[in-house]
Chains A and B, each alone.
Chain A
Amino acid sequence: MYEWMVTARYYEERLQEEYMEGKEPAFDISAGPIPGELHLAAGHESSAAGVVSHLRAEDTVTAPHRPHHIAIAKGVDLKRMTAEIFGRETGLGSGKGGHMHLFDPDVNFACSGIIGQGVPPAVGAALAEKKRNTDNVAVAFLGEGAIDQGAFLESLNLAKVQELPVVFVIEDNDWAISMPKERVTDVADGSKRGAGHNIPHDRVPQDDAVQVFDAAREAVGRARDDNGPTVLEVQVHRRMGHFMGDAEAYRPEEDKAAAQMRDSIERMEDALENAGVAADDRDAIRADAEARVDEAISWAKDQPEPDPSAAYENEFVNPPAGVADTEPATDGGER
């Protein structure tokens, strides 16, 4: 768990540096090697680590618009994920998807940038596993701001009436862009959304990966043993702006400071120390993780950009007659 957490944190620190290249001093979202939006997950690591510890490659995970920490824990190919974020030909989606749309079918990982909309596909994956009588499970990650979406609420109901092996993991970082949680919902414990559907639910009140691990063992175990869905909420922290470039003018200074103080990685280090893991061993794990990240980033940056003609490829796996899997025929105006 510690390895995933430090990998994710360092990965995002490096991405942040790369993202800002060409965007300083005047921030222009379309400039630099990584354009577009970038949502970093610093402060969210405990939820991914604690939950994904109980999963195997066959289990399905869907992530929201803030996906990197979850992808890293799920074993998504780090190099190809990085190449995707840099928009390179060898990226997971050959540069077509980008950072909110990472797909790694080898480890059953997918994400969506539309709030709440990654949840129903996880229910579908669980449905497939149930129909095929496997003991594989699915986990849908979503933010606390997403729990008001119809897609989530409908998914809870469907998962329950079909008793599907799925775990809904709410990452509560207190904020949905500029909306603090208390203005989004009157229910402080988002996992209680499960109660209305008669689904077992639990909340881990701090970003403590060990506590998440324990709670997730029960939830994932329930799914694997064919005992239906669980809603699990984990308190995490948004240590930075919603997306890169967000000046957070709406956010009270105390809240920013508090998010900085409660750090899941330090908590994990304390846990390791208490368990008798030597500082040297921790440092070695960290150094290893950092080396892997540096390697992935420099590899990705060396990769070629996609050829423009690739824009027309793979819209269909099986292009229908008349839809060439190449540039569309246009009457004159070359596109």
Chain B
Amino acid sequence: MSDRQLTMSRAMVDAIAHEMREDEEVFVMGEDVADYEGIFDSTTGLREEFGYDRVMDTPISETAFIGAGVGAAQAGMRPIVELMFTDFFGVAMDQIYNNMAKNTYMSDGNVSVPMTLMTAVGGTYNDAAQHSQTLYGTFAHLPGMKVVVPSTAYDAKGLMHKAIRDDDPVVYMFHKRLMGLGWMPAPDGPKTAVPADDYTIPFGSADVKREGADVTVVTLGLHVHRALEAAEELAGDVDVEVIDLRTLVPLDTETVVESVRKTGNLVVVDEDYRSYGVTGEITARVAESALDDLSGVERVALPDVPIPYARPLENEVLPEAQDVIDAVRSLSP
């Protein structure tokens, strides 16, 4: 592997630029993706290389441009459309879940929608209830779209190549705190070595980021790094295995179940709301397949409240490494 270290945003852009060079039908559109180069650096340098025709700034009209992405994809192109913050999905959700996600099924496979919808998720910087959500559960709950959540630069690139080449709609959710932005410092983990050549990471293959014998911690996105921090802290005391799901749809149940068979203890960590979300889904799947092996379960997620603005309030509701540590300890493995 190359020793070229990239931030997660650079790695994503690397993949997008490669696909645009290879295939004239790939283009990017969204708010502030051309001149601003993406609020979260998700399109840095693309307009300069490919021009306004292929990197299109759109008016603030999510219904129109996300729906247009669906139409262009159905016409055989491979649009990458950015929804600036996942929180804004509401203004365009019909295009997302009734068109983008359902047209293939409703046409019984006669129509395909090879579109990538990329969007920024997450809090940790006090941007309050309308700009800090994660919403993995919402997108993964609605059938018909694949849902991807990278946690490192290496994964970000491989998953982006895969997303663009995939013939189905893919929602690519990147955490702002992982991007390596100058104005929002990232933890150490996400910046990794990234090969210059293209490569894909298959959807539905979770990554065991750390092996351990006592407790399985299943998580994704920013919380992979928090869980690793917690595991490090607990090392010598409790031996924690950390699994990064990488994609929510498809979901790699097997890797999770296998791990729980080994450890007997499950902690699921998610920055999304607790109820009806990722933590419930993972727990249910493990219960379905490995109930006899399971001695303890904990869920660490946002309590079911909107994300508050003030720092002590946001800190209270967002899961931190300490919350993971407490959850692992409460299982007294």
A309 touches which one: B64, B297, B316 (CB < 8 A)? B316
Write the chain B residue with the least CB distance to A33: B311
User: What residues of chain B lie closer than 8 Å to A179, measured between beta carbons?
Assistant: 31-32, 35, 57, 59-60
Chain A 83-122 residues near chain B, CB threshold 8 A: 84, 87-88, 91, 93, 95-98, 100-101, 112-117
A148 at the interface (CB under 8 A from B): yes
A28 touches B183 (CB 8 A): yes
User: What residues of chain B lie closer than 8 Å to A250, measured between beta carbons?
Assistant: 35-36
A306 touches B310 (CB 8 A): yes
User: What residues of chain B lie closer than 8 Å to A87, measured between beta carbons?
Assistant: 126, 309-313
B1 at the interface (CB under 8 A from A): no
* Contact code string A18-37 (vs B, CB < 8 Å = 1, else 0): 00000000111110000111
B295 at the interface (CB under 8 A from A): no
A145 touches B60 (CB 8 A): yes
B87 touches A114 (CB 8 A): yes
A149-B91, A178-B35 in contact; A335/B303 too (CB < 8 A)? yes
User: What residues of chain B lie closer than 8 Å to A307, measured between beta carbons?
Assistant: 312
B104 at the interface (CB under 8 A from A): no
B183 touches A100 (CB 8 A): no
CA distance A149 to B306 in the complex (A): 24
A331 at the interface (CB under 8 A from B): yes
B61 at the interface (CB under 8 A from A): yes
B60 touches which one: A146, A245, A308, A310 (CB < 8 A)? A146
A35 touches B125 (CB 8 A): yes
User: What residues of chain B lie closer than 8 Å to A27, measured between beta carbons?
Assistant: 182-183
User: What residues of chain A lie closer than 8 Å to B311, measured between beta carbons?
Assistant: 35, 87, 305
A308 touches B128 (CB 8 A): no
B91 touches A148 (CB 8 A): no
A97-B128, A101-B129 in contact; A306/B88 too (CB < 8 A)? no
User: What residues of chain B lie closer than 8 Å to A176, measured between beta carbons?
Assistant: 31, 59-60
B59 touches A178 (CB 8 A): no
User: What residues of chain A lie closer than 8 Å to B128, measured between beta carbons?
Assistant: 36, 96-98, 100-101, 113
Chain B 306-320 residues near chain A, CB threshold 8 A: 306, 308-313, 315-317
B32 touches A95 (CB 8 A): no
A311 touches B316 (CB 8 A): yes
B184 touches A29 (CB 8 A): yes
CA distance A189 to B313 in the complex (A): 43
A196 at the interface (CB under 8 A from B): no
User: What residues of chain B lie closer than 8 Å to A91, measured between beta carbons?
Assistant: 310
B57 touches A35 (CB 8 A): no
Interface size on A, residues (CB 8 A): 58
Tell me the dominant secondary structure on chain A's binding face. loop
CA distance A309 to B305 in the complex (A): 12
User: How far does the Cβ of A162 sit from chain B's closest Cβ, in whole Å?
Assistant: 23
B298 at the interface (CB under 8 A from A): yes
B316 touches A333 (CB 8 A): no
* Contact code string B27-41 (vs A, CB < 8 Å = 1, else 0): 000011011100100
* Contact code string B170-210 (vs A, CB < 8 Å = 1, else 0): 00000000000011110000000000000000000000000
Chain B 149-167 residues near chain A, CB threshold 8 A: none
A131 at the interface (CB under 8 A from B): no
Write the chain A residue with the least CB distance to B327: A333
User: What residues of chain A lie closer than 8 Å to B300, measured between beta carbons?
Assistant: 333, 335
B36 touches A177 (CB 8 A): yes
B90 touches A305 (CB 8 A): no
A100-B130, A333-B300 in contact; A117/B91 too (CB < 8 A)? yes
A311 touches B305 (CB 8 A): yes
A98-B126, A178-B57, A183-B57 in contact; A151/B312 too (CB < 8 A)? no
B299 at the interface (CB under 8 A from A): yes
B262 at the interface (CB under 8 A from A): no
Chain A 200-249 residues near chain B, CB threshold 8 A: 245, 249
CA distance A148 to B60 in the complex (A): 6
B253 at the interface (CB under 8 A from A): no
In the complex, which of the residues A183, A308, A331 has the most CB atoms of chain B within 10 Å of its own CB atom? A308
A128 at the interface (CB under 8 A from B): no
A27-B182, A28-B185 in contact; A95/B308 too (CB < 8 A)? yes
B299 touches A333 (CB 8 A): yes
User: How far does the Cβ of B244 sit from chain A's closest Cβ, in whole Å?
Assistant: 20
A113 touches B131 (CB 8 A): yes
User: What residues of chain B lie closer than 8 Å to A146, measured between beta carbons?
Assistant: 60
* Contact code string B8-40 (vs A, CB < 8 Å = 1, else 0): 000000000000000000000001101110010
User: What residues of chain B lie closer than 8 Å to A312, measured between beta carbons?
Assistant: 303, 305
User: What residues of chain A lie closer than 8 Å to B39, measured between beta carbons?
Assistant: 177
A29-B183, A101-B129, A328-B303 in contact; A149/B313 too (CB < 8 A)? no
CA distance A311 to B308 in the complex (A): 7
User: What residues of chain A lie closer than 8 Å to B326, measured between beta carbons?
Assistant: 333-334
A185 at the interface (CB under 8 A from B): yes
Write the chain A residue with the least CB distance to B301: A335
A327 touches B299 (CB 8 A): no
CA distance A247 to B330 in the complex (A): 47
User: What residues of chain A lie closer than 8 Å to B64, measured between beta carbons?
Assistant: 148
A308 touches B315 (CB 8 A): yes
B127 at the interface (CB under 8 A from A): yes
CA distance A179 to B33 in the complex (A): 10
13 contacts between A and B (CB under 8 A): A30-B125, A87-B310, A97-B128, A98-B309, A114-B91, A148-B64, A179-B59, A308-B316, A312-B303, A331-B299, A333-B299, A333-B326, A335-B303
- Contact surface of A with B, Cβ cutoff 8 Å: 26-30, 35-37, 84, 87-88, 91, 93, 95-98, 100-101, 112-117, 145-146, 148-151, 176-179, 183-185, 245, 249-250, 305-312, 315, 327-328, 330-335
Please list the 6 inter-chain residue pairs (A to B) with the smallest Cβ-Cβ separation, ordered nearest first.
A87-B310, A95-B310, A98-B309, A308-B316, A250-B35, A35-B126
